[in-house]
Amino acid sequence: MFSAGIAVALLFTQTAPPLKICDAVQSAVLAEEARRAASARQFDLAATKFLEAHSACPQNRSLLVENANALFMARRFDDARTASANILRGDPGDAAALKIKGNVEYFLGEFEEAMSTFITLLDRHPDDEDGAYMLGRIYYQEGRPDHAIGQFQRVLKLNPRSYKAWDNLGLCWQANGDTDKAIAHFLQAIKIAEKDNPDYDWAYANLADLLVREGDAEHAFAAAAKAANRNPNSARNFYIGAKALEKLGKTELCLNWLQRAAVLDPNYPEPQYLLARVYQRLGQQDKAEEARERFKELKAKESSKRR
């Protein structure tokens, strides 16, 4: 005759679902398919394949992180948020999941939440370069350059060749009104990027923009031209170059650069404002008025988004 304890034990033995065995080979095959899809920027497919790979081997939690990252890259921000939250329930200190969560919050405009997430990340992982960089970027964009400076300097202690940190420190010093320090940091970013990533155009563009403001149009255009050469798809590079050309009195060339900027980004208001002024100077009143109206329309859309 069975005792009550044996009966209960037998009941649970019969009803408990068996642990799924990891099919490591199948999981690896699916994960490789997912990574190939991600490399081809087929992020939706990659996300699906990473889930299939995890289903084949549930013990491999890193596949859930790759799934969450693929969802983020697919701009499926709500899904990426849910996926990263699920990972963090199992491991609140998972650095990769915290970064995905913080980036999702940043792209959704939830800046306070993003800052909190990156602070949590850095509390748990003080040497995380990406976390410090992203926190610095958010501080800068939120108008807190002194806080941003601390984070970018933290990045440079971890990686002195981080040209992005040098570049962003330049922006911070510019925001604080220290032009000499700003220029020095932009130039250091350019020096490092020339060796490590010759296609990096931001430091040239940021330097050009500062030099235009400082009245050095000749050197500003030289820097903008280098930025445009490195990234000919950037409307900002052409707009900054056009501002320098206007100050140099090269109206026709300025018009060419402005038209290029407007084609590259039809929703960029500032080139339209300068176009109106250049058309007015050239006596093309109808085009000047059209550019003015386009500028007003785009600025109104910007204000609506901010509200």
Q: At 207, which CATH number?
A: 1.25.40.10
In a domain, 239, yes or no: yes
C-beta separation of 124 from 115 below 8 A: no
Domain that holds residue 277: 201-307
In this prediction, residues 232-252 reach a mean pLDDT of: 97
In a domain, 245, yes or no: yes
Q: What is the pLDDT of residues 37-75, one digit of tens each?
A: 999 999 999 999 999 999 999 999 999 999 999 999 999
C-beta separation of 130 from 99 below 8 A: yes
In a domain, 291, yes or no: yes
* pLDDT higher than 90, residue 231: yes
Query: What does 227-276 look like in DSSP terms, one character per residue?
Result: HHHH-TT-HHHHHHHHHHHHHTT-HHHHHHHHHHHHHH-TT-HHHHHHHH
Please give the Cα distance from 26 to 34 (Å, whole number). Answer: 12
In a domain, 216, yes or no: yes
* pLDDT higher than 50, residue 13: no
Q: What is the pLDDT of residues 247-291, one digit of tens each?
A: 999 999 999 999 999 999 999 999 999 999 999 999 999 999 999
Please give the Cα distance from 126 to 217 (Å, whole number). Answer: 42
Q: How many structural domains does the chain have? A: 1
Please give the Cα distance from 23 to 102 (Å, whole number). Answer: 32
Q: What is the pLDDT of residues 158-207, one digit of tens each?
A: 999 999 999 999 999 999 999 999 999 999 999 999 999 999 999 999 99
In a domain, 306, yes or no: yes
In a domain, 300, yes or no: yes
Distance between the two ends of the chain, CA-based, in angstroms?
Answer: 74
CA nearest neighbour of 206 among 144, 140, 134, 274: 140
In a domain, 224, yes or no: yes
pTM for the model: 0.85
